Amino acid sequence: MSAGIDLDNVCCDFGTFRAVDNANVSIKPGEFFSFLGPSGCGKTTILRMVSGFIEPTQGAIRIGGKDMRGQRPNQRPTALIFQNLALFPLMPIWENISFGLEVRGVDKATRRKKAEELLALVDLPGAADKMISQLSGGQKQRVAIARALAVEPQVMLLDEPLSALDLKLRQHMRAELRAIQKRTGVTFIYITHDQGEALAMSDRVGVMSQGRIQQIAEPRDIYDNPVNGFVASFVGENNIFEGSLGPVADGMAALTGPHGSFRARIRPEAEGKPLKLYVRPEHTKLAPTKGSENSVEVEVTEVAFEGAFISVHGHAAGGKAISAEVRNDGVTPVPALGDKVYATFDAARALLLPDANVRG
């Protein structure tokens, strides 16, 4: 059982401060949807509105097509996993997990059985009688997931549940969460400020900044076709060039600045706004000779070995920082410190983007 969620022009004001501005999303039943954004951009606020702890100042939230206005959190078919988990430290684990069933008047034996089943599902068999304080961070995490799953919610809301874990465990839990979501088919709304996490786990991602949803798209699209400079910068590295825009033809335009003239893709809706050129380091190639277009001379100032690739940083004329990634495949030549090389990129890989969509 899972339900879709629609946010229609949802706004949330705290006094005069607008924490969420005009959010429009339509999340499909069974989808794994992530909200990605920096700290303080309003992610938790959205989640708290969906779970019913805050009423939107404007707009409507529908779950499974039903308007949720006026519904208390205990009446909504959602289960929230809190940023700090909020497990009950005075109850043993099985009571934590079955609390939602206890509320629904399920008898003790059935509750216990269900708790054990869920513990098996989250890979924690035999922990039923332990106390919360006896668990590690990752185990607490799983208990929180089990507790939320116990009430068979149609929507699971997860507020940065992995942020407190170490890298290894985080990666493990990502896979686990994804697997649990597939197994149960419940709609997941997942909140994170970790772009890798959002891109790796989600069916779709909504990138937020300062209370506004900047872009909603599949992870690949977010990375390859960001709609503005904020999204491009938040989900990865970029070399950014400024300049004045030439005429647009066939979805391409030229940008002329202090480092030369570059051609890049432009979206129709971006035309007429102040634009900058964004190109990813992995699409920036280094060569001893000047390319036919989109080429700029760079002096290498740093070569950092990263394992699978080598990160090369340099300065163009005027001290502008440029970086490139060279694949560590033993074939591609790696420039040395102090070398003068040409950084060249494909016009189809470069984007002309406006800044973030902010109010004002």
Partner 1 sequence: MQDLLRRYGTGLTSVFCLLVAFWILVLIVLPNFAMFEQSFRPYLPVVEVGGPKDVYSFANYSKILDNGFESTIFGIPVTLPIHVLTFLDTVFFSALVTFFTLVFAYPLAYYLAKIASPRSIPTLLLLLFIPMWVSEALRAFAWYVILTFNGPLNAALKGLGIIEESIRWQNGIFTSYDAIVIVLTYCYVLFMLFPIYTAITSLDTNQIEAAEDLGSPWWRTHWRVVIPHAKPGIASGCVMVFMLSAGSLLVPTVVGSTKANWFPQTIYTWFNDALDWNTGAAYSMIFLLACIVFVILMMRLFRVKLSDIAK
Ligand X SMILES: Nc1ncnc2c1ncn2[C@@H]1O[C@H](COP(=O)(O)OP(=O)(O)OP(=O)(O)O)[C@@H](O)[C@H]1O
Binding residues for Mg ion (CB under 5 A):
44
- Tally the C-alpha atoms within 13 A of residue 126's C-alpha that lie toward its C-beta: 0
In this chain, which of 9, 28, 38, 86 binds partner 1, going by CB under 8 A? 86
User: Quick one: which of 150, 160, 222 has its CA closest to 190?
Assistant: 160
Interface mask toward partner 1 for 19-58; x: CB under 8 A: --------------------------------xxx-----
Q: Answer for the pair 77, 64: CB distance below 8 angstroms, yes or no.
A: yes
Cite the DSSP H helix spans in the chain.
43-51, 93-103, 108-121, 137-150, 167-184, 195-201, 219-224, 229-234
User: Quick one: which of 161, 157, 81, 147 has its CA closest to 118?
Assistant: 147
Q: Which is nearer to partner 1, 18 or 147 (CB)?
A: 147
Q: How far is the CB of 190 from partner 1 (least distance, A)?
A: 16
Residue 349, Cα to own-chain centre: how many angstroms? 22
Query: What residues does 236 pair with on adjacent strands?
Result: none
Q: How far is the CB of 86 from ligand X (least distance, A)?
A: 14
Interface mask toward partner 1 for 132-151; x: CB under 8 A: ---------------xx-xx
Interface mask toward ligand X for 165-204; x: CB under 6 A: ----------------------------x-----------
Does 2 bind ligand X (CB under 6 A)? Our answer is no
Does 7 bind ligand X (CB under 6 A)? Our answer is no
Q: How far is the CB of 111 from partner 1 (least distance, A)?
A: 13
Q: How far is the CB of 51 from ligand X (least distance, A)?
A: 13
Query: What residues does 159 pair with on adjacent strands?
Result: 191
Q: How far is the CB of 134 from partner 1 (least distance, A)?
A: 18
151's contact among Mg ion, ligand X, partner 1, none, with CB below 5 to 8 A by partner kind, is partner 1
343's contact among ligand X, partner 1, Mg ion, none, with CB below 5 to 8 A by partner kind, is none
Backbone angles phi, psi at 59, to 5 degrees: 85, 175
- Could you give the CA distance from residue 261 to residue 295 in angstroms, rounded to a whole number? 9
In this chain, which of 36, 41, 68, 80 binds partner 1, going by CB under 8 A? 80
- Could you give the CA distance from residue 303 to residue 288 in angstroms, rounded to a whole number? 16
In this chain, which of 28, 69, 104, 108 binds partner 1, going by CB under 8 A? 104
Residue 304, Cα to own-chain centre: how many angstroms? 27
Query: What residues does 166 pair with on adjacent strands?
Result: none
Does 53 bind ligand X (CB under 6 A)? Our answer is no
Does 108 bind partner 1 (CB under 8 A)? Our answer is no
Does 100 bind partner 1 (CB under 8 A)? Our answer is yes
**Neighbour count for residue 257 (Cβ, 10 Å):** 14
Does 258 bind ligand X (CB under 6 A)? Our answer is no
**Neighbour count for residue 320 (Cβ, 10 Å):** 17
- Could you give the CA distance from residue 114 to residue 144 in angstroms, rounded to a whole number? 15
72's tokens: 């208390």
The region of 35-43, 224-232, 235-243, 313-321 touching ligand X under the rule CB under 6 A is 35-43
Q: Answer for the pair 65, 21: CB distance below 8 angstroms, yes or no.
A: no
In this chain, which of 42, 56, 335, 354 binds ligand X, going by CB under 6 A? 42
